[in-house]
Amino acid sequence: MNIESLLQELGVDLKAHRGAGIVARSPIDGEVLAELAADSKASVDLKMARAQAAFQAWRQLPAPRRGELVRLFGEELRRHKEVLGQLVTIEAGKIRQEGLGEVQEMIDICDFAVGLSRQLYGLTIASERPGHRMMETWHPLGVVGVISAFNFPVAVWAWNAALAYVCGNSVVWKPSEKTPLTALATAALFRRAVARFGSDAPDGLLEVALGDAQVGEALLDDGRLALISATGSTRMGRAVAARAAPRFLRTLLELGGNNAMIVAPSADLSLALRAIVFAAVGTAGQRCTTLRRLFVHHSVYAQLVNKVVAAYASVRVGDPLVEGNLVGPLIDAAAFKGMQNALDQARDEGGKVHGGERVLAQMHESAYYLRPALVEMPAQSAVMCHETFAPILYVLAYDQLEDAIAQQNAVPQGLASSIFTTDLREAEFFVSAQGSDCGIANVNIGPSGAEIGGAFGGEKETGGGRESGSDAWKAYMRRATNTINYSSALPLAQGIRFDF
Ligand code: NAD
């Protein structure tokens, strides 16, 4: 199916978006998919005005009614899972299975949010004063801005938007300039859900602003924005946080990771091997939770590393639309260069590199397919302390678990981690307060591939935000504490006397 008919099936009128400013390319072959009009400061201003008006109407609807819109949107996603999944593959380059998985994640968060729309609970709190009651009430927040990264072009938006909508907010979305088409397709499906919902859904519940960092900045500078949820590199997060700070704009930051796995002597090595390969080479190493550092106990090091090297050599690299290929292309030439630079640095720092070479270059001159790289390192050196967004896995041997955990935690990022062990003491120690310092700490599964039910996010330079499940919804609401006096006296808290 060509791109125009794919987009048509999803309800996108490409003609309405054609223009200058954004060139959408497929990393599969480097070909241009469409040239689209970027937003200007003035158009962002108009979109913010529409979103603000939508918020004022939407917040008046009961939350379970708002949940109904998210339910209908989930239905549209179910109906179009194949096609939208295919578009994700074409635009972001992830394999078919992962493209479909991304849409499934959107469906899952819709289901979660529909249930949540009847569970936006506050506490009642014991008052110290007679004849008084205290409670907390959760109110809609306002216009929620979502800035998203190329590697999860639609799921991350859905994590934010599904919760934002049931919480009574409107959304302005600035997708990655590398993946504008999946955003337009998602918005078209959302419009279908709105049309089925009825006239009590205001216009402007979802506005999409296309463009690069400047469009993101225009969004951040708009005083009507109540929260910015930004997903991307730590560099981007620093710029967003600094811009948001002067007016105390709420931020929810989901930034880079540098994720690790520890394989202990008692580990089930066949499970560990499968987890390592999926976590390190899946999405061609372009997940925020991709496994980048592997600490293996010296007693099983040779046995495991030989198996990983063999698996890496056999894993099929190629067109992500073709069934059976497990590693698709990198997003662009800059990502390829970043990978080669990191491998050069690793060699300079004493690393022994297996794989990492470019393949299929004759077939696709402007696309970047590579064999994943495994790098045996003598120590955790500088190259291992930053995130290279590519399939590079650094491996180190360790002797003491405490030392492996200390090394795992000794990087600026704090997103995902895991241990493979069948020793209960080791497993519990790893997830204890003295163990992993990451937002995600797993036992006997890899660091990537999270479910939507838990709160997702990480510590330190990963930004500290939490999205998706658990009580992440609270970030999208405003909490009011109410004290109600139903007595005929006016006692003051702390027993203070103030008689006049
Ligand atoms: P990126 O930082 O280059 O861009 C992300 C988004 O931020 C894009 O929409 C971009 O236009 C926008 N942006 C960039 N600079 C900005 C600025 N100064 N102001 C406003 N907006 C700005 O990231 P990318 O290359 O698209 O994605 C890869 C990165 O994202 C990796 O570091 C990865 O770990 C991270 N990521 C994190 C998570 C998470 O949940 N922690 C999820 C996915 C990706």
Q: What CATH code is carried by the domain that includes residue 245?
A: 3.40.605.10
Residues 244, 277 within the same domain: no
Contacts (Cβ under 8 Å, ≥6 apart) of 136: 122, 123, 125, 479, 480, 481, 482
**Rounded distance between C-alpha atoms, residue 500 and residue 333, angstroms:** 76
What residues pair up with 148 in beta bridges, in sequence order? none
| Nearest CA-CA partner of 48 in 240, 243, 165, 208 | 208
Residues 318, 224 within the same domain: no
Ligand 1 neighbour 241 (Cβ under 6 A): no
Q: Is residue 491 part of a domain?
A: no
- For 41, the domain range is 3-255+463-481
Residues 269, 205 within the same domain: no
Residues 273, 234 within the same domain: no
Q: Is residue 61 part of a domain?
A: yes
Residues 219, 365 within the same domain: no
The per-residue pLDDT for range 196-220, each reduced to its tens digit, is: 999 999 999 999 999 999 999 999 9
Ligand 1 neighbour 351 (Cβ under 6 A): no
**Ligand 1 centroid from CA 274, angstroms:** 28
**Ligand 1 centroid from CA 355, angstroms:** 27
Q: Is residue 458 part of a domain?
A: no
Ligand 1 neighbour 104 (Cβ under 6 A): no
What are the backbone angles phi and psi of residue 294, rounded to the nearest 5°?
Answer: -120, 120
Residues 159, 298 within the same domain: no
Ligand 1 neighbour 236 (Cβ under 6 A): yes
Residues 190, 319 within the same domain: no
What pLDDT is recorded for position 123? 97
What pLDDT is recorded for position 1? 60
Cβ count near 441 (within 10 Å)? 17
What pLDDT is recorded for position 463? 98
Question: Is 451 among the residues known to form the active site?
Answer: no
| Nearest CA-CA partner of 36 in 86, 88, 80, 91 | 91
Residues 188, 282 within the same domain: no
Spell out, as residue ranges, where the chain has pLDDT lower than 70. Answer: 1
Ligand 1 neighbour 459 (Cβ under 6 A): no
The whole-model pTM stands at: 0.98
Residues 9, 85 within the same domain: yes
Q: Is residue 500 part of a domain?
A: no
Question: Is 254 among the residues known to form the active site?
Answer: yes
Which residue's CA is the nearest one to ligand 1's atom 16? 213
**Rounded distance between C-alpha atoms, residue 175 and residue 247, angstroms:** 24
**Ligand 1 centroid from CA 236, angstroms:** 6
**Ligand 1 centroid from CA 258, angstroms:** 15
**Ligand 1 centroid from CA 482, angstroms:** 38
Residues 315, 410 within the same domain: yes
Residues 202, 346 within the same domain: no
Catalytic residue among 98, 105, 207, 254: 254
Q: Is residue 421 part of a domain?
A: yes
Residues 205, 295 within the same domain: no
The per-residue pLDDT for range 410-424, each reduced to its tens digit, is: 999 999 999 999 999
Q: What CATH code is carried by the domain that includes residue 389?
A: 3.40.309.10
Q: Which pair of tokens denotes residue 491?
A: 């006692």
Q: Is residue 41 part of a domain?
A: yes
Q: Is residue 278 part of a domain?
A: yes
Q: Is residue 67 part of a domain?
A: yes
**Rounded distance between C-alpha atoms, residue 99 and residue 101, angstroms:** 5
**247, burial (CB in 10 Å: exposed 0-12, middle 13-18, buried 19+):** exposed
Q: Which pair of tokens denotes residue 117?
A: 């729309």
**Rounded distance between C-alpha atoms, residue 109 and residue 186, angstroms:** 14
What pLDDT is recorded for position 299? 98
Question: How many domains is the chain partitioned into structurally?
Answer: 2
Catalytic residue among 288, 376, 387, 438: 288
Ligand 1 atom nearest to 387, measured from its CA: 32
* Residue type, position 399, single letter: D
What pLDDT is recorded for position 2? 84
Ligand 1 neighbour 75 (Cβ under 6 A): no
**Rounded distance between C-alpha atoms, residue 359 and residue 263, angstroms:** 30
